[in-house]
Amino acid sequence: MRILALGDIVGTRTVAYLAQTLWSVRKNERIDFVVANGENTTEIRGLCARDAEALLDTGIDLITLGNHAFGMKDLYPFLDAHEQTVIRPANYPPAAPGSGYTVLNVGGWKLLCISVSGRVFLDPLASPFDTVDRILERESGAYDLALMDIHGEATSEKLALAHYFDGRIAVMFGTHTHVPTADEQVLPHGSGYITDLGMCGPSGGIIGTNTEEVIYRFRTMLPTHFSVAEGSLRAQGAIFDLDESANRVRSVRRIVF
């Protein structure tokens, strides 16, 4: 099995770009499953229902979310109705719309997909360690392989989660910083990991955001409306090559297209 994980999608222009490119990437790289973080799709601060539907038409099988999961209120009923295709961080309170995980059939294998948020420099949600432990216990016997999107700010927190679940969750990747890291690896107990996938969006600006607006915010500390940057589009992510029968990852490779 080959899984393609894509970094945070920034702006609606990127949706059209993925619609033009992703299916050919899937074919050329022999990808069986595509997961992407979509929380910045609707002009940086969230994902609306219309854009969620459009993303799923591009060749993405599952959308994960993060700290902007509830930025667009029209997504709330969509999350409840589409728990198989869009998941928000599992460590939000149970009263939050949607689900934090799902089990999908991929090539005859049952794939448990989990979204979780870090807590360092982000909202003080429930412990991601305890939350995911409970999910694995609850779903024991109901899945063959597992993957997890760790949406977090701190590298140390992401790495700690990865080592804690090494050998129990086969595919683990970080999102949120929009900057790809060069630490793709297979951990000691066979899990594949990378601290951050990067982003899918414009190459200009500052992590996908208009440069002048970001500088103004840092210089003045005043409330600022951020808009999506200009520039050519690119998609960043990683391909995880799995040995399904052994529940191990053979390799992790970064990809840009």
Q: What average pLDDT is seen over the chain? A: 97
pLDDT per position as a tens digit, 58-90: 999 999 999 999 999 999 999 999 999 999 999
**What's the chain's Rg over C-alpha atoms?**
17
SS3 content of the chain, % helix, strand, coil (to 5): 25, 30, 45
Q: Map out the domains of the chain with their CATH numbers.
A: 2-256 (3.60.21.10)
The pLDDT assigned to 161 comes to 98
Percent of the chain at pLDDT above 70? Answer: 100
Rounded to two decimals, the pTM is 0.96
The pLDDT assigned to 18 comes to 98
pLDDT of residue 206 exceeding 90: yes
SS3 43: coil
Residue 45 — very low, low, confident or very high, per pLDDT cuts 50/70/90? Answer: confident
SS3 26: helix
Report which of 102, 105, 45 is spatially closest to residue 79, judged by C-alpha positions: 102
The pLDDT assigned to 221 comes to 96
Average pLDDT rounded to a whole number, residues 141-155: 98
SS3 109: strand
Residue 43 — very low, low, confident or very high, per pLDDT cuts 50/70/90? Answer: confident
The pLDDT assigned to 33 comes to 98
pLDDT of residue 152 exceeding 90: yes
Q: Which residues are catalytic?
A: 68
pLDDT per position as a tens digit, 99-112: 999 999 999 999 99
The pLDDT assigned to 235 comes to 98
Average pLDDT rounded to a whole number, residues 181-185: 98
Average pLDDT rounded to a whole number, residues 232-250: 96
